[in-house]
Amino acid sequence: MNATVVGMLVVIGAMSAVALDVPERFRAISSESVAAAQQVITAGDLRSMAVMLDATYLMDRRLPKEEEFADWLAETFKENNAKDLAEDHWGHRYRYTVTKGRRYELRSVGPDGVADTEDDMSISGP
């Protein structure tokens, strides 16, 4: 089962818990599960994007420019139409920066939506 399906099942379970007015403890567990799923899926997305950025660099000897990143994502992952690929699973835009055309950093600002805090997630390469 892929991470998207697992995430969707967790969300459906959490929504059912709210709709059925189950005990507060179960809701708390469901919320924690949703948060964990969002983190795992966002980490997987960052890794998938990094693999493809590395491949692009190896094949083309260049990385997409920062202003090209959203278009590059759409073209590279065109089979995915489940969500906006330029957003993490909290609805925040991924931050893509390129240094001297040779190194990149991809960053999710995490659930708090604030850059450079403890919950940020990042990956860099190549």
Whose structure tokens read 């990042």?
122
Say if residue 123's pLDDT is above 70: yes
Quote the pLDDT of residue 110: 92
How many angstroms separate the CA atoms of 45 and 34, rounded? 16
**Structure-token pair, residue 65:** 């420019």
pLDDT digits (tens, 9 = 90+) for 11-63: 666 666 555 555 666 566 667 777 788 888 899 999 999 999 999 999 988 99
- 3-125 is a CATH 3.30.700 domain: yes
**pLDDT above 80 (res 114):** yes
Burial code of 34-65, b = ≥16 C-beta within 10 A, e = fewer?
A: beebbbebbbebbeebbeebeebbeeeeebbe
Integer Cα distance of 90 and 69 in angstroms: 19
Task: Report the mean per-residue pLDDT for the chain.
Answer: 82
Beta bridge partners of 95: 107
Separation of alpha carbons 43 and 27, rounded Å: 24
- What residue segments make up the domains of the chain, in order of their start? 3-125
pTM higher than 0.85: no
Residue % of the chain over a pLDDT of 70: 73
Range of weakest confidence among 16-20, 62-66, 84-88, 108-112:
16-20
Give the residue carrying structure tokens 């997630």: 121
Model pLDDT, residue 108 = 95
